[in-house]
Amino acid sequence: MRREQFLDHLTHNLIPFWNQLEDDAFGGFYGFMDKDLKVDPQADKGVILNSRILWFYSAAYRLLGEEDLRAKAEHAFRFLKEYCYDKRRGGVYWSVGYDGKPVDTTKHTYNQAFAIYALAEYYMATGDGDGLLLAYDLYRIIEEKCRDAAGYLEAFRVDFTPDDNNEKLSENGVMAGRTMNTLLHVLEAYTNLYQADHYEPVAGKLKEIMDLFETRVYDREKGRLQVFFDLEYHSLIDLYSYGHDIEASWLLDRAADVLGDEAYAARIHAMTKVLATEVKKHAYDETVHALYNECERGVDDPQKIWWVQAESVVGFYNAFQKDPGQTEFEKAAADLFEFIQQNLVDPRCGEWYESIRADGSVNLDRGMVHEWKCPYHNGRMCIEMCRRMSDETR
């Protein structure tokens, strides 16, 4: 496993694929491509999709310095600012139409967080202060409207009145008042925002979120994170989300590290080491070198979901970097990347399939591009691994 492999996959597979999704007529990026690689130019545009694309091109520009990547990031930023952001009431919508008119006006905390994540990256890439100003506007929205004294809430109507129907971030037959997933991505967003500007109140919020992970979300007995909660943090279901745990293992480490508090970071690293170890123990399929999806009530879902594999490469490599003596993590990351290249990359276009089913067949039921399928996980895997392996050679 070499840095050049990730760089090659980024520059010859992912970037060319996503370049073709740019909508020059109405702005942003097209919202849907079917399994036959046919784009629907009139499909709704998910704001999560467009935020993640803004992050992708911004991060790719920071890594590679190529001006066409900056132009794509600026294109994505203009669309987010002009069409996805509610200028009257604040916050970003869940989705807009192909022409930028609001379609689903839900204001979800998860969605606000991804916009912050992208805007902070855009600011770090370009120095455009408008991106940072908008990121702070959304930060204030989250802190003033999307939380209570105990932590972060989930779904809101367009005017930020609470909406008990959190179906967008609830699955497995439950309706959650709080989710580990939303909390994780608020953490991720605030980490990027703090890296961009080192505003001390953001550092305080990061510690507050990591404390919530340690005291409310992390199950010490089982060595895993609980997933869905009621408002009092009672777990609603016996669910082990392997992909989220391995993703959280390195995102929590990153957040702790950027704060520069070594004692606090050591405390968080102790938790994340367990998360990575337990995921490898319970979810890593040694026969094909890939991760199962999740385990509900003791029953594994053996699908090999695209994003789970991407996050596992970074998560296992992060675990190896923290403890180079544990070479099994480095080998697992390398074997996972080999599995991805051999099984998940669509040779027609270079983008990844949604998943590989238990019987080994390809799953493209939801298409190649949709509101949740974007260059965030696999693009970030490439960018993150390039950065990590570059640091090691200096």
Could you report the per-residue pLDDT of 45-64, keeping only the tens digit for each?
A: 999 999 999 999 999 999 99
| Averaged pLDDT, 349-361 | 96
The whole domain housing 124 covers: 3-392
Q: Quick one: which of 44, 51, 160, 163 has its CA closest to 103?
A: 44
Longest CA span, the chain: 54
Could you report the per-residue pLDDT of 78-132, keeping only the tens digit for each?
A: 999 999 999 999 999 999 999 999 999 999 999 999 999 999 999 999 999 999 9
pLDDT of residue 127: 98
- Residue 390 pLDDT greater than 90, yes or no: no
| Averaged pLDDT, 261-278 | 97
pTM for the full predicted model: 0.97
Vertex 270 angle, CA 269 and 271, to 5°: 90
Q: CATH number of the domain that 258 lies in?
A: 1.50.10.10
Could you report the per-residue pLDDT of 137-167, keeping only the tens digit for each?
A: 999 999 999 999 999 999 999 999 999 999 9
Counted domains in the chain:
1
Q: Quick one: which of 347, 351, 346 has its CA closest to 370?
A: 351
